[in-house]
Amino acid sequence: MKLSNIDQVNEFLNVVKECRGDVYLTSPQGDKFNLKSNFSQYIAMGALLGNHGDDLELWCDDKEDEAKFLNFFNKHPEV
């Protein structure tokens, strides 16, 4: 899932916390940020909110977790 603009950072991170499996943001350069790690969250959120936010893609290990993000995206179609 490609991300473009997240203004609801806390709500987005709450969805990450609810996930059972790992959740990643990946960049075209091959960077992979595990959002279950607090340290990686800071780096990934900086990239997402900065100039490279449109280039990042969201990946979930668990299919049920994908449904949680789809609900988030339906609620916030600007993302």
Domain extent at residue 14: 9-64
Instruction: Output the CA–CA distances (angstroms, integers) from residue 37 to 9, 27, 40, 71, in the order listed.
Output: 15, 17, 5, 22
Q: What is the value of pTM for the model shown?
A: 0.83
Q: How far apart are CA 75 and CA 38, in angstroms?
A: 25
DSSP string, 10-49: HHHHHHHHH-SS-EEEE-TTS-EEETTSHHHHHHHHHHHH
Number of domains within the chain: 1
Q: Tens of pLDDT along 22-70? A: 999 888 888 899 999 999 988 888 877 776 556 788 999 999 999 999 9
78 part of a folded domain: no
